[in-house]
Amino acid sequence: MSTTPGPGSMHWRYGGEVRGYLLLVKAGLLQLMLPGLGAGVEQHSDFFNEPWERVLRSVPEIQGTTFDWPRGEETARRIRDFHTGIKGVDGKGRRYHALDPEVYFWAHATIFDALYHMIELFDHPMTAVEKERLYAEGCAIYRAYGVSDRVVPPDWPSFRAYFDRVCREELEITPAARGLIEFAKEPPATFPLVPAPLYRLLRKRTARPLWWIGVGTLPPVIRERIGERWTTRDERRFARFGSLVRHTAPLLPNRLRYTARARAGFRRTGTGPT
């Protein structure tokens, strides 16, 4: 019997929404600001040459831990095994390994946090019961990877305390994080999902608003650390943007609202997102 969330779960309902991509900058930056995780990406991937390609390879696999149900555990173990050889020493002489629970769980925590905030910002304010349910599902996915769960907080309030502490005390502007900031402000010359002529037209015009959205979703302590201002006017504009997304998304057909991995899960199980 599958232990990862499947049909009827909150992850099944929300985890495959395209709206989640609005939180990618936040999740990616928070990941890369953890020294061990940032060093692994810097030293063991082609992130600086193919940033979008790396993201577009990773996101569908992560979604597969839910939407490959009832074989989500198999997908999770495949993802874990890919990280077995990712280890070394960072630029400050600190040893790291991708499968250290402190590193691996932080990557999972940023994805879970992004899903939570996608729902809160762009769908509806969550109740305490919903938060605990979503967190319990997220913990089930993490345990499916087969990595030690000794660092996993026991409940939603303790997870929020853990997340805020890591942001305050452990995150720094690593070379990989600095690279992501530069890519976000000045996107690479190509984007795999968009024809080259169209992307050339959109590249400069979309960079600033996409970075602004990313900054708006960051914890205030991280905004300050990377030197970004967020004014009362920004907050009002972001609230209007969130309202627009919240009211527009339900009008979209499933082929535009949900990712390919999610739609494949819906078709295979005969169970949609509601």
Mean pLDDT of 197-214: 78
Q: Is 269 contained in some domain?
A: no
Model pLDDT for residues 101-135, shown as the tens digit of each residue: 999 999 999 999 999 999 999 999 999 999 999 99
- Yes or no: say if 10 and 130 are a contact pair by the CB < 8 Å rule: yes
130 in a domain, yes or no?
yes
Q: Taking every pair of C-alpha atoms in the chain, what is the biggest distance, in angstroms?
A: 52
List, as own/partner pairs, every contact residues 111-116 make where C-beta atoms lie below 8 angstroms and the sequence separation is at least 24, other chains included. 111/27, 111/62, 112/138, 113/27, 113/30, 113/163, 114/20, 114/23, 114/24, 114/26, 114/27, 114/217, 115/11, 115/14, 115/15, 115/20, 115/23
b/e map 189-205, b = 16+ CB within 10 Å: eebeeeeeeebeeebee
Asked if 47 contacts 179 with a C-beta cutoff of 8 angstroms, the reply is: yes
Q: pLDDT at position 56, please? A: 72
Average pLDDT over residues 227-238: 97
State which residues form the domain around 213. 10-257
If phi > 0 it is left, if psi is from -120 to 50 it is alpha, else beta; for residue 136 that is alpha
pLDDT at 2 over 90: no
Number of domains in the chain: 1
Average pLDDT over residues 85-108: 96
Residue 205 pLDDT class (50, 70, 90 cuts): confident
Is 194 inside any structural domain? yes
Q: In this predicted model, what pLDDT tens digit does every residue of 7-65 receive, in sequence order?
A: 999 999 999 999 999 998 999 999 999 999 999 999 998 777 776 667 777 889 999 99
In a domain, residue 3? The reply is: no
Task: Provide the pLDDT for residue 38.
Answer: 95
The beta strands (E) that lie in the chain are given as 87-89, 95-97
Q: Is the pLDDT of residue 192 over 70?
A: no
Residue 267 lies inside a defined structural domain of this protein: no
Q: Residues 242-268: pLDDT tens digits?
A: 999 999 999 999 999 999 999 999 999
6: pLDDT strictly greater than 70: yes
pLDDT at 57: 77
Least confident of 174-188, 200-214, 257-271: 200-214
pLDDT mean across residues, the chain: 92
pTM score, two decimals? Answer: 0.93
Q: Looking at the domain assignment, is residue 265 inside a domain?
A: no
Helix axis angle, 175-185 relative to 35-44, nearest 10°?
A: 70
Asked whether the predicted pLDDT for residue 190 surpasses 70, the reply is: no
Question: Tell me, what amino acid is at 180?
Answer: L
pLDDT at 183: 83
Q: Which pLDDT score is estimated for 191?
A: 65
- Specify if 140 maps to a domain: yes
Residue 101 lies in a domain: yes
